[in-house]
Structure formats: C-alpha cells, structure tokens
Structure 1
Amino acid sequence: PPGQDCVIINGTAQCGEACQHYTELNDNWLSQYNINGNSYCSGYYYSPEGWYRMFVGQTSAQIPETCVQDSRCSSYNRLQMTQPHPTQYNQTVTRSLCYSHGSYCCSETSSDTIKVKLCYGDFYVYKLQRLPGCYTAYCAGNVLLLITKSSKI
C-alpha cells in the first residue's frame, strides 16, 4: 500500500509505516564508543531484513557516516554509511555501506545497501539487510540531525 513498506517474514508479507513499525536495536556493545575489543559475535546477523531504530542506552542513535575506530562496536568488521542521512522528515533514501577492518577506514565497499528514513520525533529508522556473518556489525553513534527548515510542518 502507498506510504507503507513490506518485508517478507516466514513467507508472509508484513506491511506498515516504517516510523511506526520497527524493531528496537538497543545493545550497548554496538556503540562506536564501546572499547571492549573484537570479542563478541552478534546474533543480529541472523535477524531478518526489516526496519530498525537504533539506541545506545536510552538515547536514539544512528549509523555513523565517518570512520569508526578499531576495536569498537565489539566487531572486527564495522559498517558505516558512505553518504549522509536524509534531512527532510518522511524522506527515505538508499545508502551504500563500507567496511572498516582493524585500522583501515572504509577499506571495502559493501555491495549491499540500506534504506534510511527520517521520522517525525527526530529519529532515524533503517531497513537493514541480513549481515554476512560473525564479527560484522552495524555500529551505532550519536544522532546528529541536520533537518532542513522546509521539511517542518
């Protein structure tokens, strides 16, 4: 339906407006400020494709657009966006990702893309793809909203 997005879960289409129907992704180990090293293997790479809202603690978070330092997000392969977040409410954009390995920033571009939507309430939701395997994570950082004046009602 118009204004809704659908994902297939167990062979059934589940549809809804992304800013209202998302899964919360709230694990402090995903934080770009987590310095616990590369020891954690996320169960989230088994998660289905779908819309997610990221948190670090009680604070809304976003996937970084800049390099994430080595040994952060408790993951060896750290994913970041290569283009900016949307700046207008209800705008959905498709963004490329890149991997940072060790001290190498964006050393490899991912063939996968994600969708990002700016929601009223000043948070982002992400239509994330299934991760390729262990020790790979979407990192989460502080939300830095740059909203254009023309986007407010």
Structure 2
Amino acid sequence: MAATPSGSDPCYNYTTLDEYWRDILQNQYQYYGHNDSAVEWSGWYRLYLNGKSAQMSEWCVSYIGCGGDVGLNLNGSHPSLEDGVVTREVFGSYMDSYQCGGYRSAPIQVKACPGDYYVYKLVKPDLSIYKPSYCAVAFQNISSDPCYNYESFDRPWRANNESGEIICDDSFSWNGWYRLFYFGMDIRMPETCASSYSCNAFLSLSLNGSHPQIEDGVVIREVQTGASMRGSCEYKSKPIRVKACPGNYYVYELVNPHFWCPGYCTGKKKHFPTF
C-alpha cells in the first residue's frame, strides 16, 4: 500500500490498494487464504488491479472468490459525483456456493471522484464472516465508440434449439465488442432467465436486468444462468458491458464465462430493440 499526498478530500487523500487476487473477472476457483478481517483498515482507499484503476464489485459471481472464503461486494450501485460521500451496504457470498448475498457485513462509505474513479472508506468486515475479502473489478478503457467498432456475430442456434454446434463459450476467445444477429437481423440477449439447453448450451446465459437506453451510454450488466434441474437463474457469471446504439441495436463486450460449457443466448426472434 502506498499513501498519496495529504489533503482533506478523500479523492486526493487515499491509500492505493493493488492486489491481483481481488479481481472477480479472473477464473479464481482456487482459495488464496486472504482475510480482510485481519487487516488494520484506516482511512480511504483507491482500488487498482495490476496497475489499472478498479472499483468494488457490485455483483456476486457464483463459485468465484476474490482471495478469501467469502467475497464482499456492494449491495447497490456506485454514487455519482454530485452525490458526494454515501454509505453503501456490503454483502458477502460464499465462494463454494451459488447463493449470492448470504452474508451482510459492515457498511462502508464511498465517493465518486473527478477522473472517473472511486474511493472507499474500508472497515473491518463483520467478524462473524469466515475469511472475507473485498472484491474488485476493472474493465479496459474504451478507446473508440463500440457502436462503430464491433464484430458481427450471427449464430442462429443461439436464439433457439435449431441444429447447430454445441456452445461452450468458456473456451471461446472473446475479444472486444459484438453485435448480435439472427440470419442477418438484429437481435439482443434475453433479459429474463433462459432455461438450460434453450440455446444449444448446457448453461444458458442471459442478462439479469434490462438493456440500456442510448442516453445511458455504456452500462454494466449482471449475467445469470441456472442449472438444468432448477427452475430459476440462481447462478451468477461475470458481468459484461452493454451499449445501445443509434440505428436500434445493441453491442456487448462479451467475456469468458467461468462455468463448464455455458453459452450466451440471443433471445427469441421477436426480441428486437424498441427504442
């Protein structure tokens, strides 16, 4: 940890925290043995991952920890600049379980800062939680508008169970932004739970939430899936970024899921943008 120059505003008076194992976007099935209850937290912190500015996770990811036994994430969204210092609840999820938010830790203070980063007044997690760790996530900077810099992705069998290859997106080399098509027509990811095998994948991935509007810009959305014998999407995969574009279509920054043989679904043929 390295201290920054002194000052009263926590945006300029924080300690940097750069520990790779806090990243939920990496495949972290293994347990690293870290315990944030043993840390003497003092003051405000800014998060980095491998030198890149990061933020606390707003999402639970099933079966993935972030260095400890129970991963801690914000229960809600980050504040905006005009909000000033806010208090946010912190929830914890056991890395060996699909259940998200099974623990509640001590709340923390958060502030959005000029320069597009956040600072956190981290505190000792609730001592009833076994080896907790604060989770972080970092996304690559967007150098150009993804509405005009994407890869076209036309895989009709992702929209239904028409004959096609079995999808295993955990082994696919995702790289950047994608625009989804169905036989040349625009289509989008489903916003509700997709049943297993509904898009030629054992675990069907869908958005847990609505698509953005054009004025929202780039947003982050949680990705969900469910086991074949369950009727709901209880598992959470890695979040992705989504943007609504002029011309009534969406682009998605797809990433490698961490479950065995999952697949991003593209909804049904009637799922077209309406904005």
* Normalised TM-score (structure 1): 0.74
CA contact (8 A) 2:71 2:134 kept: yes
CA distance in structure 2 between the aligned counterparts of 1:19 and 1:90, rounded to whole angstroms = 14
For 1:1-153, what aligned pairs fall within 5 Å after superposition? 16-34=8-26, 35=28, 37-42=30-35, 45-89=38-82, 91-101=84-94, 102-103=96-97, 104-110=99-105, 112-131=106-125, 132=127, 135-142=131-138
Q: Is the 8 A contact 1:68 1:80 kept in 2?
A: no
CA distance 1:125–1:36, shift in 2 (3 Å): same
Segments of 5+ residues of structure 1 without an aligned counterpart are 1-13, 149-153
In terms of mean alpha carbon deviation, does 128-137 or 17-26 score higher?
128-137
Quickly say closer, same or farther: Cα 1:62–1:143, change in 2 above 3 A.
farther
Opposite residue 29 of structure 1, the aligned amino acid is: W
Which digits, 9 at most, give the CA deviation of each residue in 1:5-50, with x for residues without a partner?
Answer: xxxxxxxxx9721011100010001111341512322467322231
Give structure 2 stretches of 5+ with no counterpart. 1-5, 141-215, 217-275
Q: Distance in 2 between matches of 1:42 and 1:108?
A: 15
Task: Describe the shift of the 1:44–1:16 C-alpha distance in structure 2 as closer, same or farther (beyond 3 A).
Answer: farther
CA distance in structure 2 between the aligned counterparts of 1:135 and 1:118, rounded to whole angstroms: 28
Alpha carbons 2:14, 2:43 under 8 Å: kept: yes
Partners of 2:72 and 2:32 in 1: how far apart? 16
- Contact 2:37–2:132, Cα closer than 8 Å, also in 1: no
Across the two proteins, how many residue pairs are aligned to each other?
131
Q: TM-score when scaled to structure 2?
A: 0.43
Q: CA deviation at 1:90?
A: 6.6
Q: Deviations over 1:52-91 (max 9, x none)?
A: 0000112111111111332321211110111110022572
Instruction: Give the percent of matched residue pairs that are identical in Structure 1 and Structure 2.
Output: 31
Cα distance in 2 for residues equivalent to 1:37 and 1:55: 21
Provide the rounded CA distance (Å) in 2 between the counterparts of 1:21 and 1:141.
22
Indicate if the aligned counterparts of 2:87 and 2:107 stay in contact, CA closer than 8 A. Answer: yes
The one of the two structures with greater contact order (alpha-carbon pairs below 8 A, sep at least 6) is 1
Paired letter, 1:72:
G
Q: Retained in 2: the 8 A contact 1:25–1:54? A: yes
8 A Cα contact 2:36 2:132, kept in partner: no
Q: Which amino acid in structure 1 is aligned with residue 102 of structure 2?
A: S
- For residues 36 and 104 of structure 2, what CA distance do their matches in structure 1 show? 23
